[in-house]
């Protein structure tokens, strides 16, 4: 009788814990028409972030030139080049979007964030007598994501995270949802290369669209993230021993519905 009572108590306790998890977790929903619109907007935001990061990556020699002081890499110049890269990648002109539309407003927030971040770092970019400035694409992307999220004020937010073993800045550690997507999907052998993952969920504030976009190491990334594994890169971090095509980061975007 004691053993039976113990099994019954454990079963009730286990069920109660399961119930607590189900109640506490946001409920997932199927992607509807509004979700497809969310996806389109999120993909635009991710494309603009990538465009700006491309410009900063291509400008590393200029940024790290210790002899130049006025390099022509102010916020307006970097934004103009970013918009051109965005046009080439997407075939769309962000200036053609209605200013009052949701996508137009959010893209303007992001473009303003790009300009803000570059202008705020002019002292670093133009510093004479210093070689490596540390204003690398990853830093740029983090700062732009933070500036964009401040401007969007809860309507949207963006983060560039990564598998936990690759995270170099605690500010961008994956949350529980991002970590699950990375482990169970992006790192799964059968996950299609480049395929994003999205979900509509309900939390205490209503419907929330979330999307995670995987990004993979290219040859230019390996100077910091390649091999030999454990050697220090130019930023002072140990290299991960990555190869071209390995999962390197994830753009995570949340859109709150009104």
Collapsed DSSP state (helix, strand, coil) of residue 22 = helix
| Domain residue ranges of the chain, discontinuous segments joined by + | 27-256
CA 167 to centroid of chain Cα atoms: 12
- The pLDDT of 143-164, averaged and rounded, is 96
pLDDT at position 171 is: 94
Kindly tell me if the per-residue pLDDT of 80 is higher than 80. yes
Which residues of 21-131 form beta strands (DSSP E)?
Answer: 27-29
Of residues 32 and 108, more confidence is placed in 108
- The pLDDT of 119-141, averaged and rounded, is 95
Kindly tell me if the per-residue pLDDT of 10 is higher than 80. no
pLDDT at position 4 is: 39
pTM of the model: 0.85
* Residues 164, 174 contacting (CB under 8 angstroms): yes
- The pLDDT of 6-15, averaged and rounded, is 36
Lowest mean pLDDT of 44-53, 168-177, 202-211, 237-246, name the range.
202-211
- Which helix (H) or strand (E) segment holds residue 248: the answer is strand 247-256
Residue partners of 4: CB distance under 8 A and separation at least 6: none
- The Cα 8–Cα 49 span in angstroms is 54
- For residue 5, the tally of other CB atoms under 10 A from its CB is 9
| CA nearest to 207, candidates 74, 17, 34, 10 | 34
Of residues 1 and 244, more confidence is placed in 244
Summarize pLDDT for 181-196 with one digit per residue, the tens. Answer: 999 999 999 999 999 9
Summarize pLDDT for 14-34 with one digit per residue, the tens. Answer: 333 232 333 334 445 556 667
**Whole-number mean pLDDT of the chain?**
88
């Amino acid at each position: 009788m004691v053993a039976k009572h113990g099994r019954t108590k454990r079963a009730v306790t286990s069920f109660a814990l399961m119930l607590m998890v189900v109640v506490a977790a946001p409920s997932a929903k199927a992607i509807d028409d509004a979700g497809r619109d969310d996806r389109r907007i999120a993909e635009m935001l991710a494309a603009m972030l990538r465009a700006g990061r491309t410009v900063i990556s291509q400008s590393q020699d200029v940024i790290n030139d210790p002899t130049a002081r006025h390099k022509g890499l102010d916020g307006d110049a970097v934004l103009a080049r970013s918009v051109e890269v965005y046009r080439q990648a997407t075939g769309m002109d962000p200036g053609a979007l209605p200013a009052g539309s949701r996508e137009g407003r959010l893209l303007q927030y992001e473009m303003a964030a790009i300009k803000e971040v570059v202008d705020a770092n002019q002292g670093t970019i133009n510093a004479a007598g210093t070689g490596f400035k540390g204003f690398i694409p990853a830093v740029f992307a983090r700062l732009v994501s933070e500036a964009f999220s401040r401007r969007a004020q809860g309507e949207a937010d963006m983060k560039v995270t990564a598998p936990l073993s690759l995270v170099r800045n605690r500010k961008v550690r994956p949350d529980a949802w991002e970590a699950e997507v990375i482990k169970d999907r992006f790192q799964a052998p059968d996950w299609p290369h480049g395929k994003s993952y999205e979900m509509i969920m309900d939390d205490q504030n209503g419907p929330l669209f979330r999307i995670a976009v995987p990004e993979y190491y290219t040859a230019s990334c390996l100077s910091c993230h390649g091999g030999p594994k454990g050697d220090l890169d130019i930023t002072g971090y140990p290299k991960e021993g990555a190869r071209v095509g390995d999962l390197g980061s994830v753009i995570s975007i949340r859109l709150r519905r009104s």
